[in-house]
Amino acid sequence: MSQLEGLMKDHFIEYASYFILDRAIPELRDGLKPVQRRIMHTLFKMNDGRFHKVANVIGDTMKLHPHGDASIGDALVVLANKDYFIERQGNFGNLLTGHSAAAPRYIECRLTQLALDTMFHPTLTEMVPSYDGRNEEPVALPTKLPVILMTGAEGIAVGMATKILPHNLPEIWKAQIAVLQKKKFALYPDFAQGGLMDVSGYEDGAGKIEVRAKIESKDRKTVVIRELPFGTTTEGLISSIENSVQKGRVKISSIDDFTTDQVEIELSIARGSDAKEVIPQLYAYTDCSVSVSSNLNVIDNRKPVQMSVTAITLALTEALKNQLKRELEYDREQLIDRKHWLTLEQIFVEKRVYKDIENKKTSDAVRKAVWDGMQKHKKLFVRPMVDEDVLRLLEVRIRRISAYDIERNRKEIEDIDRKIKAIERKLKNMVKTTIDYLQGMLATYGEQYPRRTKITEIQAVDKRSVARQNLRLSFDKKSSFFGTEVRGDLFKLTVSEFEHVLGIAKDGTYRVMNAPEKVFFTGPMIYGELFDPDRGTEFIVVYRDKQKMAFAKKIKIEKFIRNREYRLIKDKGGRVDLLLSSDQLGTVHLDFVPAKRQRLKEADFDLAELEWTSPTARGVRIAPKPIGKVKLIPAPEAKGKAGKAKAKPAGKGKAPDGSSGSSSGSSSGKGGQGDLF
């Protein structure tokens, strides 16, 4: 078992490492995942200026990629739709509508000029054998672009994920110039879909952003969506709007999608509403407003690391400076090589060294004659001559010697000297050289990539304030169910999904709910009204326990857990007789349960004597004996007030012992008033 456990552990670590390093997470240096790098390398090898069938590109890439053709095709389409590196011809799908690309045999592609100018340098590219050893592939492309920030990336690996949002390319170049000039900078995402964006929570790539669709009011009854939030499509957005319409959250009568290469979704507003009311609802309840999180994990030096946008910009700027230095040094070496050869050729011809080999009969003697003849003029050498130079001089044809142009040769050497001096000036100040390069890129390509997503301050929509009262509640006395799916005649309410409802039953149980679909009350419901959690609701409760002893208490219901059942009566088996508002005072008249030799048959209790207590408290015992009937006698000053709501008993029916427990008034609670008023 221990051997198997060790074997599984080793294999899992190898699998996880492969998945993280060679599949899902992009490389910091060139910003590409392995499959993307293989596609780019293949397109560069195939490049002849013409378009290539995507199917052919996939086939050639499979020589380097150990996985299937579908993964290559999907990656190529995604990379092409970034609009930076691959020029498209044919149907590559639509980012706006979500439609997929045509089959690879029908579409064509080639590298863009931007990619050819910045992504490749074969002699400075480190190569390794492919998975089967038959070909070579690059470890990383020697790019001079901030690919990982400009394209963004998403990937899920073993125990790790990355989500890098795309940024605006000219803005990244300006940020890199600011880095070189040691100035402050800030970078924010930019999306192909456009839209509006709030970056207050971006936190240098470690937070999230709020993205919204661009919605215009065409007229009072019509709104048009012009741009989409990042990560959505027109189909998904329309689906979210339809769902909200079905739930009654947004009043839309029809949806028309006219999207082509530009988004245009026209929404007709239903009767009874207008654009001013509907637009906030669209942001609150549909995908017109989404939150996007960022998680910057990249591969650096064959290790996964978490970085910020600033750290990546600094690293890419330093990498750009080093890459430009390497290319300048390479160009200088090439020029020195060319000057070295031109100088040798000049000496060989002008000094007539070739004459020394006319009477030599062996190859060794010929090489020695050339070597000795050239060494006489070694002060003119650019660098020491080697054996390969002798062989190359011996390959110079007689025609070349006879047509040799001394002036042209000297002019070319002078041009090379000027170029070498220019390169050395650049190498002495790489900061200025890098800034000049970035400014040149801005001048050449800056206008091709304008910012598409507008940065603005987005005020969060309070869903409570824009919510429609579209949920109808009622109580069915026969089934004792209350909710939106109940068809009853009692406690009819119309509420929004965010409003709370307080329901109290005859047995003293109560709940605070958010418009339930269907909830059961063990006793008949005697109260059902809107409930304000911030203010609470105050009551005077008069009840009898299972021994028919009467109690009263003044309470305030304010602390609660939604949908949890609470009890106003401590012991089961009791019943609420009166449920009054806290300011509805008077006298409670109590008739005792008849008994033999009973001299005292009734009692009165003044509700003004009650003190505040908690809803779960037993309350004040208001009579010394079991009670058969409870009746409220209103205070004298309240009797003559016109329009004053009268207190109602908490229901009629049999008392627990079978005697009548009814009091004057009705207990139907119709109209949602319950027994409070």
pLDDT, tens digit, 9 for 90 and up, residues 519-533: 888 878 888 888 888
Task: Determine whether 106 is an active site residue.
Answer: yes
Burial 369-387 (b: 16+ CB within 10 A, else e): bbbebbeebeeeebeebee
Residue-level pLDDT at 24: 87
The identity of residue 541, as a single letter, is V
What gap in Å lies between CA 373 and CA 348, rounded to an integer? 8
User: Would you place residue 653 in the very low, low, confident or very high pLDDT band (cuts 50, 70, 90)?
Assistant: very low
Max intra-chain CA distance, the chain: 160
What gap in Å lies between CA 99 and CA 521, rounded to an integer? 50
* pLDDT score of 644 more than 80: no
The identity of residue 249, as a single letter, is R
Range of lowest pLDDT (191-205, 479-493, 545-559): 479-493
Task: Give the residue-averaged pLDDT of 500-510.
Answer: 88
* pLDDT score of 327 more than 50: yes
What gap in Å lies between CA 582 and CA 538, rounded to an integer? 6
479 DSSP 8-state letter: T
* pLDDT score of 76 more than 90: yes
What gap in Å lies between CA 33 and CA 11, rounded to an integer? 23
Range of lowest pLDDT (151-155, 240-244, 275-279, 646-650): 646-650
> Which comes out higher in pLDDT, residue 513 or 449?
449
Residue-level pLDDT at 137: 94
Task: Give the residue-averaged pLDDT of 326-330.
Answer: 95
Task: Give the residue-averaged pLDDT of 153-162.
Answer: 87
What gap in Å lies between CA 229 and CA 290, rounded to an integer? 7
Task: Give the residue-averaged pLDDT of 295-323.
Answer: 93
For 30-69, the pLDDT digits (tens) are 999 999 999 999 999 999 999 999 999 999 999 999 988 9
Residue-level pLDDT at 636: 74
The identity of residue 143, as a single letter, is T
- Looking at domain 322-447, its CATH architecture is Orthogonal Bundle (1.10)
Backbone angles phi, psi at 283, to 5 degrees: -70, -30
Residue-level pLDDT at 122: 94
Choosing from 15, 18, 84, 106, the catalytic residue is 106
457 C-beta neighbours (distance < 10 Å), count: 9
For 410-454, the pLDDT digits (tens) are 888 999 999 999 999 999 999 999 999 999 999 999 999 999 999
Most confident stretch, 274-283, 296-305, 438-447:
438-447
Best CATH choice for the domain 11-177 from the list 3.50.50.60, 3.30.230.10, 3.40.50.300, 3.90.199.10: 3.90.199.10
Burial 530-550 (b: 16+ CB within 10 A, else e): ebeeeeebebbbbbbbeebbb
* pLDDT score of 640 more than 70: no
Task: Give the residue-averaged pLDDT of 645-654.
Answer: 39
Range of lowest pLDDT (122-131, 146-155, 193-202, 593-602): 593-602
Q: Do the Cβ atoms of 72 and 39 come closer than 8 Å? A: yes
What gap in Å lies between CA 197 and CA 454, rounded to an integer? 6
Domain with CATH 3.30.1360.40 in the chain: 214-287
Question: Degrees (nearest 5) of the Cα angle 433, 437, 441?
Answer: 170
Residue-level pLDDT at 649: 42
List of residues 6+ apart from 664 with CB closer than 8 A: 631, 649
User: Would you place residue 120 in the very low, low, confident or very high pLDDT band (cuts 50, 70, 90)?
Assistant: very high
User: Would you place residue 110 in the very low, low, confident or very high pLDDT band (cuts 50, 70, 90)?
Assistant: very high
What gap in Å lies between CA 132 and CA 64, rounded to an integer? 8
The identity of residue 524, as a single letter, is P
Residue-level pLDDT at 461: 58
Residue-level pLDDT at 157: 84
CA distance readout (Å), 157 to 19, 180, 214, 307, 322: 6, 35, 34, 17, 31
Of 536, 539, 509, 503, nearest in space to 647 by CA: 539
Q: Do the Cβ atoms of 348 and 340 come closer than 8 Å? A: no
Range of lowest pLDDT (264-268, 305-309, 405-409, 665-669): 665-669
The identity of residue 417, as a single letter, is D
Task: Tell me how far the alpha carbon of residue 34 is from its chain's centroid.
Answer: 24
Beta strands in 412-524 (DSSP E): 454-455, 471-476, 481-483, 490-495, 500-505, 509-513, 519-520
Rg (CA), the chain: 42
The continuous run of DSSP H or E covering 137 comes out as strand 136-138
pTM assigned to the model? 0.75
Residue-level pLDDT at 471: 75
Task: Give the residue-averaged pLDDT of 396-400.
Answer: 73
Residue-level pLDDT at 467: 57
> Which comes out higher in pLDDT, residue 506 or 146?
146
The domain defined by 214-287 folds into: Gyrase A; domain 2 (3.30.1360)
Residue 566: Cβ-neighbour burial (10 angstroms; 0-12, 13-18, 19+)? middle
What gap in Å lies between CA 321 and CA 368, rounded to an integer? 45
Residue 181: Cβ-neighbour burial (10 angstroms; 0-12, 13-18, 19+)? exposed
Task: Give the residue-averaged pLDDT of 580-590.
Answer: 86
User: Would you place residue 198 in the very low, low, confident or very high pLDDT band (cuts 50, 70, 90)?
Assistant: very high
Residue-level pLDDT at 656: 34
* pLDDT score of 575 more than 60: yes
124 DSSP 8-state letter: G
Residue-level pLDDT at 445: 95
What gap in Å lies between CA 528 and CA 501, rounded to an integer? 7
pLDDT more than 70, % of the chain: 91
Q: Would you call 199 helix, strand, or coil by DSSP?
A: coil
152 C-beta neighbours (distance < 10 Å), count: 21
Residue-level pLDDT at 210: 93
> What's the order of all strands across the beta sheet hosting 519-520?
490-495, 471-476, 481-483, 519-520
CA torsion sign for 106, 112, 118, 123 is positive
Task: Tell me how far the alpha carbon of residue 180 is from its chain's centroid.
Answer: 31
User: Would you place residue 148 in the very low, low, confident or very high pLDDT band (cuts 50, 70, 90)?
Assistant: very high
The identity of residue 491, as a single letter, is F
* pLDDT score of 659 more than 70: no
Average predicted confidence (pLDDT) for the chain: 86
Residue-level pLDDT at 480: 82
User: Would you place residue 249 in the very low, low, confident or very high pLDDT band (cuts 50, 70, 90)?
Assistant: confident
State the pairing for strand pair 214-219/222-227.
antiparallel
Task: Give the residue-averaged pLDDT of 291-317.
Answer: 93
What gap in Å lies between CA 164 and CA 25, rounded to an integer? 10
For 174-191, the pLDDT digits (tens) are 999 999 999 999 999 999
What gap in Å lies between CA 117 and CA 145, rounded to an integer? 10
* pLDDT score of 650 more than 70: no
User: Would you place residue 464 in the very low, low, confident or very high pLDDT band (cuts 50, 70, 90)?
Assistant: low
The identity of residue 304, as a single letter, is P
